[in-house]
Amino acid sequence: MNIKILGCSGGIGTDLRTTSMLVDNNILIDAGTGVGDLSMDELLAIDHIFVTHSHLDHIAYIPLLLDTVMGFRESPVTLYAIAETIAILRAHIFNWVVWPDFTQIPNQANALLRYQELSLGQTINIDGRKIRSLPAHHVVPAVAYHLEGDELSLVFTGDTTACDALWDEVNKIANLKYLIIETAFSNHEIELAKLSKHLCPSMLAEELSKLNVKSGQQSVEVFITHLKPGEDQIIMQEIAEAGIKWPIQALRQQQMFTL
């Protein structure tokens, strides 16, 4: 399983792109503005989209992707999300007001979009690639994802604040190698981080103290995503000064992981 980071910023500007990951060539984990860098052939290859939550920086290019490939596909794109997220997308995005309802286009029998509801903890197996939903805690219903390859695992938290239930599940993953976790704000904006249910470096340090890799497991590499544009350097400096025991670096657009 190969994972390419299409976007990992908390905003846009110059070369910044918002959250999206491409798994092999046909699965997206979220679909922020990073999807806009894909070619037509690459867009046509996408059969599955897993959504962490309904915020625009994570779903912005789903409507545009569907509109672009309409008429060129013979099978629907499947969107996986928890029931609450699907309900939000139906009510507020694919509602004929903001964007057409692609579950009805070109007709209901041959729709371009199909929803598949996920329950928390459910694993979807797509040609041997396992993707499992994990708990997350955000201002809207949200999940994290555990991607399990043949040898290694990666966890992507999506947007979350403190969430003990997440660590309960993460600590059970015997082959965890990569953890991608958000830190959206610097420490001087801790109240905003708490209000919006994101993390800042001091909160990140507290969360990572709950990461308990069992004896005999390999070291976990931690990557920081969703940094606020213009504050990325101070956020990473504060993280470096927080005394976190895990190796930590900022996630980069176009970065690759192999599981």
Tens of pLDDT, residue by residue over 16-57, are 999 999 999 999 999 999 999 999 999 999 999 999 999 999
CB < 8 Å & 24+ apart, contacts of 163-168: 163/135, 163/136, 163/137, 163/207, 164/210, 165/135, 165/137, 166/134, 166/135, 166/136, 166/137, 167/207, 167/210, 167/211, 167/212, 168/135
Domains and CATH numbers, the chain: 2-258 (3.60.15.10)
Task: Kindly state the average pLDDT of the residues 191-208.
Answer: 97
pLDDT tens per residue across span 94-128: 999 999 999 999 888 899 999 999 999 999 999 99
pTM: 0.96
Instruction: Note the pLDDT of residue 217.
Output: 58
Is 214's pLDDT higher than 80?
Answer: no
Task: Kindly state the average pLDDT of the residues 184-197.
Answer: 97
Dist. CA 200–CA 52, nearest whole Å: 20
Instruction: Note the pLDDT of residue 14.
Output: 81
Query: Which residue do the tokens 């999506």 mark?
Result: 158
Is 179's pLDDT higher than 60?
Answer: yes
Instruction: Note the pLDDT of residue 115.
Output: 98
Instruction: Note the pLDDT of residue 215.
Output: 45
Instruction: Note the pLDDT of residue 176.
Output: 94
Instruction: Note the pLDDT of residue 134.
Output: 98
Q: Which two tokens stand for residue 39?
A: 């070619």
Is 219's pLDDT higher than 90?
Answer: no
Reference 78, options 40, 50, 44; nearest CA is: 50
Is 216's pLDDT higher than 60?
Answer: no
By the 8 A CB rule, do 77 and 114 touch? yes
Reference 220, options 111, 146, 129, 110; nearest CA is: 146
